[in-house]
């Protein structure tokens, strides 16, 4: 009998590979192993679930049992892969069981980064990176009114909009001088900031959090600017760190993420990686669209038709209804300049090289209508 494809992780990446592979091969055994509940859900929904009326329970589209039947695969929920024995092509599970694989797929995702903070309230800081975290967060805010968010990146801004739209008093703290500092030029950042302020979000920029302490029933944040914020809940969203430990302990090549070539193959020819844990030809792209493209290519490869992943232009929609925003950021370190046109209705920012070729864009407000036109003029992310 054919050895199974073992997939580690039941996030969008793990499920996308399982689904695509099942489409191509009806009888190849597929085993999906997950440290969590193993149910299928769309993670992006978490940061606008309040205003769209979703609960942690209703976010799950199918539990592990239902998904196993639907995809005709084996799912091992609440089971952690502790080690990979790549010489013998097997994995060791948390219940001490050993499973052999024909091919192994690492879809282990990323952890929310944690700032090294001081104070008696540090253990109260919440992060949201999966539906279990989200359930804890929803339970925590249920009888509260004030939330402070550390980090004004994509996830921080989306939660800020969602919370303020549903009646919470929201403070956002960031060391940068604007929200979405890595994705937007200053004029666009200022526009987004103003739109979020208009719905009640209070920004504390150019400042980081120095300490987090209990203050009676509240939590007090002291910022490097000496400002003090009293709040009830603290949510940290300061970035993601690819989960690479398992790969590292197996001796696979790891840099920022698990290093893979365009076939999504790691430094071991029988082990592949995709999603938030993977670094594809130097790129770590923790978004849904790269997963969709990677999963299709990898499934074809696993089904016997070696297929390199190609990334087209993949604009990311920022879920801030107070300020519709779409970004297709230029690659880090690319030479060029932002050309910005803005008025009261929106901002169009195009990042161009010396010859005037567009390499990336950010569109806000009414300018988002130009997304398709601009996307058509950008080079593919990975050709």
Residues binding ligand FAD (CB under 6 A): 8-14, 33-36, 43-44, 46-47, 80-81, 107-110, 128-129, 155, 243, 246, 275-276, 286-289, 291, 316, 319
C-alpha pair distances (Å), 229 with each of 189, 218, 219, 233, 250: 23, 10, 8, 11, 45
In sequence order, what are the beta bridge partners of 328? 361
**Coil, helix or strand at residue 155:** helix
Given the complex with ligand FAD, which of 200 and 286 has the nearer CB atom? Answer: 286
Residue 131: Cβ within 10 Å count? 20
Listed residue (194, 193, 189, 184) closest to 338, CA to CA: 184
* 156 contacts 191 by C-beta, under 8 angstroms: no
Whole-angstrom distance, CA of residue 368 vs CA of residue 372: 9
* 237 contacts 124 by C-beta, under 8 angstroms: no
Residue 269: Cβ within 10 Å count? 10
Closest distance between ligand FAD and the C-beta of residue 130, in Å? 6
Closest distance between ligand FAD and the C-beta of residue 276, in Å? 4
Whole-angstrom distance, CA of residue 269 vs CA of residue 256: 20
Closest distance between ligand FAD and the C-beta of residue 198, in Å? 22
Given the complex with ligand FAD, which of 193 and 237 has the nearer CB atom? Answer: 237
Main-chain dihedrals φ then ψ at residue 29, nearest 5 degrees: -65, 130
Closest distance between ligand FAD and the C-beta of residue 279, in Å? 12
Given the complex with ligand FAD, which of 151 and 358 has the nearer CB atom? Answer: 151
Closest distance between ligand FAD and the C-beta of residue 245, in Å? 8
In sequence order, what are the beta bridge partners of 107? none
Given the complex with ligand FAD, which of 9 and 119 has the nearer CB atom? Answer: 9
In sequence order, what are the beta bridge partners of 231? 219
Main-chain dihedrals φ then ψ at residue 31, nearest 5 degrees: -120, 125
Residue that has been written with the tokens 């800020």 in this structure: 160
Closest distance between ligand FAD and the C-beta of residue 11, in Å? 2
Closest distance between ligand FAD and the C-beta of residue 4, in Å? 15
For the sheet containing 90-93, what is the strand order? 81-85, 90-93, 98-100
Given the complex with ligand FAD, which of 207 and 277 has the nearer CB atom? Answer: 277
Closest distance between ligand FAD and the C-beta of residue 214, in Å? 27
Closest distance between ligand FAD and the C-beta of residue 69, in Å? 19
Given the complex with ligand FAD, which of 35 and 219 has the nearer CB atom? Answer: 35
Given the complex with ligand FAD, which of 160 and 173 has the nearer CB atom? Answer: 160
- What region, left, alpha or beta, does residue 333 occupy, with left being phi > 0 and alpha being psi -120 to 50 degrees? left
Which two three-digit tokens encode residue 359?
A: 């390499």
Given the complex with ligand FAD, which of 290 and 330 has the nearer CB atom? Answer: 290
Whole-angstrom distance, CA of residue 149 vs CA of residue 167: 15
Closest distance between ligand FAD and the C-beta of residue 242, in Å? 9
Given the complex with ligand FAD, which of 17 and 207 has the nearer CB atom? Answer: 17
Residues 6+ apart with CB under 8 A from 97: none
Given the complex with ligand FAD, which of 136 and 214 has the nearer CB atom? Answer: 136
Instruction: Enumerate the H helices of the chain as residue ranges.
Output: 12-24, 56-59, 64-71, 131-141, 154-165, 186-198, 245-249, 288-302, 371-375
Which two three-digit tokens encode residue 127?
A: 């992060």
């Amino acid at each position: 009998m054919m050895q199974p494809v073992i997939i580690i992780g039941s996030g969008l990446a793990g499920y996308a590979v399982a689904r695509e592979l099942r489409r191509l091969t009806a009888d190849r055994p597929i085993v999906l192993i997950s440290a969590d509940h193993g149910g299928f859900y769309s993670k992006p929904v978490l940061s606008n679930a309040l205003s769209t009326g979703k609960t942690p329970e209703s976010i799950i589209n199918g539990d592990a049992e239902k998904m196993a039947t639907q995809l005709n695969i084996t799912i091992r929920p609440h089971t952690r892969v502790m080690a990979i024995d790549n010489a013998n092509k097997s994995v060791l599970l948390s219940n001490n069981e050993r499973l052999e694989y024909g091919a192994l797929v690492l879809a282990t995702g990323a952890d929310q980064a944690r700032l090294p903070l001081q104070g008696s309230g540090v253990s109260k800081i919440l992060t949201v990176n999966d539906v279990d975290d989200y359930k804890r967060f929803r339970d925590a805010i249920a009888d509260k009114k004030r939330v402070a968010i550390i980090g004004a990146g994509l996830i921080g801004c989306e939660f800020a909009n969602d919370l303020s739209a549903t009646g919470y008093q929201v403070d956002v703290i960031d060391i940068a001088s604007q929200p979405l500092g890595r994705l937007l030029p200053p004029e666009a950042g200022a526009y987004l900031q103003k739109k979020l302020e208009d719905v009640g979000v209070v920004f504390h920029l150019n400042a980081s959090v120095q300490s987090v302490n209990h203050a009676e029933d509240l939590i007090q944040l002291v910022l490097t600017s000496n400002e003090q914020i009293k709040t009830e809940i603290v949510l940290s969203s300061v970035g993601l760190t690819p989960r690479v430990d398992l790969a590292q302990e197996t001796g696979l090549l790891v840099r920022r993420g698990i290093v893979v070539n365009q076939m999504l193959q790691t430094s071991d020819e029988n082990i592949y990686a995709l999603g938030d844990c993977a670094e594809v030809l130097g790129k770590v792209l923790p978004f849904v669209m790269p997963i969709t493209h990677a999963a299709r290519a990898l499934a074809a490869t696993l089904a016997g038709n070696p297929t390199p992943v190609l990334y087209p232009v993949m604009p990311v929609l920022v879920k801030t209804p107070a300020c519709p925003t779409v970004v297709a950021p230029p690659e880090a370190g690319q030479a060029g300049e932002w050309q910005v046109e803005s008025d009261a209705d929106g901002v169009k920012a195009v990042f161009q090289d010396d010859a005037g070729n567009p390499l990336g864009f950010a569109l806000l407000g009414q300018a988002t209508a130009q997304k398709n036109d601009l996307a058509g003029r950008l080079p593919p992310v990975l050709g």
